[in-house]
Structures are given as C-alpha cells and as structure tokens.
C-alpha cells in the first residue's frame, strides 16, 4: 500500500498528489510514468510522473478527474492509500544539452512538463516554455513554469488569457531558431505542434499516452505506428519522434472504450 502524503487541488478537477514510494522515487526520471490501482476491482491507471523526491521518498502525480477511476482517485485524502503503484515505467526522456529548446505543455500534463523543463534547464538548455489549456480556469503551475523556464508564453483555446490557441507558434518558430522542441499534452496538441515543426525540420519529441493495461510490454494495447513500424509506447516510448507518429490512428485508438467509460461514470455518479 502506498500512502498519500500530500493532496492539493490545482483547479476544480485537477489534483496533485504526493505519494510515498521510496524505491520508485529513487529511480524516477522525467518522462517516466507509474501505474496505480486503487482497489481489488480497479483498473490499472497509467499516470506520467510530475516529480520525484528521492530524499523524501515520494513521487508526485497530477491528474484530472475525467472518469470513474480518476474520480475515485481524486476522492482520496491525505493519509489514504492506493493499493498498487508500479514504476518508474517507460523510458525516461532524453535529457541533454540541445541549445535552444521550445517546450509546449498542455492541460493536466503541465506537471510532467515542468519536471522535464527543470531537468533540461539543469542540462544547460535555454528554454522557451508554452503552457496551454482549454480556458484560463484550467491553467496549472504557470508560476512554477515561469520560474523554471527562460521565457514563458501562455495560451488558451479561447484566447481569454495569453495567446489564442497555438497558432502564434508558427511565427515564433520562424523568428527564433530552436534546436529542439518537446511536447507533453493532449494528443491533438502534440500533433499540431509536430505538424508545425515538421516542415521546418526542427527535431520534435512527443510524449504519448495511448491506452495501456500492464504498461510493461505485455499487452500491446499501446501500440503506435511510428515511421511505418509498430511500437509499444510503454517499453519503446513513451517519447517518440513527433514527425513520424501516425496521430490519426493513435487518436482513434484512444477512443475505443469511450462508451464503457461513460457507462462506468454514470453508474459511479449514481452511487455517489
């Protein structure tokens, strides 16, 4: 059992947990994920790590309450325990000195994004960060990103705060010469950024999170087509070359259980 030592609400439906998992915390790196299971009937829930504290023996996760399992997770309080926590899984992100780096993080993934910015900064990169969200109330960790990156842009879909959408990136990418781009966020956002950087030939790393069951290379649910080859996001990724990913296939694969997820949520709401 893994104890929740800290809980923080970042928005109305985004929560941050610090969970006691000393062995995982020692090995965790940016880009890794963990798999949680809450109870005996629970599913295996993959969540990208937002941070790890090897001294304190804790890891951090940030998640949005969008379905039954994440709502159940969000209902836990400090001192409560999750039944299972396996990790760190997946290959860590490649942290090296690229030079000028543009990072685009979106939605609930801004936590994992920040974890990576800090590591890239430490490796000597100059970092331009873009933090995106659907609307201002969904923005998270903006101040933290500002403190970690060399410059920071905010973007919301409706443009109420910061830039309207990511189209301003077209200009930014023309103006500046970035050596490397990385994205962590909703799949459609990662696709859009990859489509912008592709013609400019800027190496772009995306962090994919398809449906997974074991997260350890066993089931193949997370297969993605990269450069015409099938890869498993859990053991071959989750970072891939964004210019080679078949995003349309990936997005359709991520929707396969939408009807079941809705049903589970309806039943869960009835009980609550």
Partner 1 sequence: MAARAPQVKMPKQPAEERIHNFEEVARGYTEQLAIEEALRCLTCPNPQCLKGCPVDIDIPAFIALIKEKRFDEAIKKIKEKNALPAICGRVCPQESQCQKFCVLGIRGDPVAIGRLERFVADWELEKGVEAPPSPAPKGGRVAVVGAGPAGLTAAAELARLGHRVEIFEALHTAGGVLMYGIPQFRLPKEIVQAEVDYVGKLGVAMHLDSMVGRIHTISDLFDLGFDAAFIGSGAGLPQFLHLPGENLNGIYSANEFLIRTNLMKAYRFPEYDTPINVGNVVAVIGGGNVAMDSARSALRLGASEVYIVYRRGMEELPARVEEVENAEEEGVRFMFLTNPIRFIGDEHNRVTQIECIRMELGEPDESGRRRPIPVEGSEFKMDVDTVVVAIGQSPNPIIQRTTPGLETTRWNTIVVDEETGRTSIEGVYAGGDIVSGAATVISAMGAGKRAAVAIHEHIMGKKR
Binding residues for [2Fe-2S] cluster are 219, 222, 234
Q: Write down the least CB distance from residue 257 to partner 1, Å.
A: 5
From 9-17, 170-178, 193-201, 254-262, span contacting partner 1 (CB under 8 A): 254-262
Q: Is 126 in the site for partner 1 (CB under 8 A)?
A: no
Binding partner 1 (rule: CB under 8 A), the pick from 5, 76, 161, 221 is: 221
Q: Is 81 in the site for partner 1 (CB under 8 A)?
A: no
Instruction: Please say whether the beta carbons of 153 and 168 come within 8 A.
Output: yes
Rank residues 168 and 257 by Cβ distance to partner 1 and give the closer one.
257
Interior/surface letters 114-130, b for 16+ CB within 10 angstroms, e for the rest: bbbbbbbbeeebbbbbb
- Positions 49 through 78 that interact with partner 1 (CB under 8 A): 68-69
CA distances from 185 to 55, 110, 209 (A): 28, 7, 9
Q: Write down the least CB distance from residue 206 to partner 1, Å.
A: 17
Rank residues 135 and 230 by Cβ distance to partner 1 and give the closer one.
230
Q: Is 253 in the site for partner 1 (CB under 8 A)?
A: yes
251 torsion bin: left (phi>0), alpha (psi -120 to 50), beta (else):
alpha
From 23-31, 53-61, 126-134, 154-162, span contacting partner 1 (CB under 8 A): 23-31
**Exposed, middle or buried by CB within 10 Å (0-12, 13-18, 19+), for 12?**
exposed
Q: Is 269 in the site for partner 1 (CB under 8 A)?
A: no
Binding partner 1 (rule: CB under 8 A), the pick from 3, 37, 94, 244 is: 37
> CB under 8 Å, gap of 24 or more: what pairs does 157-166 form?
157/132, 157/133, 158/134, 160/135, 160/136, 161/136, 166/104, 166/130, 166/132, 166/192, 166/193, 166/196
Binding partner 1 (rule: CB under 8 A), the pick from 3, 5, 7, 43 is: 43
Residue with structure tokens 């990859």? 194
Q: Is 218 in the site for partner 1 (CB under 8 A)?
A: yes
Residue with structure tokens 């936590």? 111
Q: Write down the least CB distance from residue 43 to partner 1, Å.
A: 4
Binding partner 1 (rule: CB under 8 A), the pick from 12, 135, 188, 252 is: 252
CA distances from 246 to 61, 91, 104, 189, 253 (A): 28, 20, 19, 14, 11
Q: Pick the closest to residue 34 from 75, 73, 77 (CA basis).
A: 73
Residues forming the site for partner 1 (CB under 8 A)? 23-24, 27, 37, 41-44, 68-69, 83-89, 213-214, 216-221, 223-225, 230, 235, 248-249, 252-253, 256-257, 260-261, 263-264, 267
């Amino acid at each position: 059992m893994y104890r929740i030592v800290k809980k923080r609400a970042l928005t109305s439906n985004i929560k941050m947990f610090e969970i006691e998992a000393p062995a995982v915390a020692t090995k965790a790196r940016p880009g890794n994920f963990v798999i949680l299971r809450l109870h005996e009937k629970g599913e295996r829930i993959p969540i990208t790590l937002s941070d790890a504290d090897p001294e304190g023996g804790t890891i951090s996760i940030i998640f949005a309450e969008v379905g039954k399992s994440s709502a159940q997770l969000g209902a836990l309080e400090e001192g409560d325990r999750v039944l299972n926590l396996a990790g760190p899984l997946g290959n860590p992100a490649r942290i090296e000195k690229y030079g000028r780096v543009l990072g685009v993080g979106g939605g609930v993934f801004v936590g994992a994004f920040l974890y990576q910015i800090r590591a890239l900064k430490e490796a000597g990169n100059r970092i331009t960060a873009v933090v995106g969200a659907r609307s201002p109330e969904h923005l998270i960790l903006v101040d933290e990103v500002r403190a970690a990156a060399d410059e920071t842009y905010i973007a919301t879909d409706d443009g109420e705060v910061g830039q309207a959408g990511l189209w301003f990136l077209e200009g930014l990418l023309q103006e500046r010469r970035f050596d490397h781009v990385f994205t962590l966020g909703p799949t459609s956002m990662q696709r859009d950024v990859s489509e912008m950087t592709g013609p400019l030939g800027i190496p772009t790393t995306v962090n994919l999170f398809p449906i997974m069951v074991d997260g350890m290379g066993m089931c193949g649910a997370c297969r993605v087509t990269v450069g015409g080859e099938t890869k498993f996001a859990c053991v071959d990724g989750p970072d891939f070359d964004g210019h080679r990913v078949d995003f349309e296939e990936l997005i359709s694969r991520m929707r396969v259980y939408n009807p079941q997820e809705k049903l589970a949520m309806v039943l869960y709401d009835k009980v609550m």
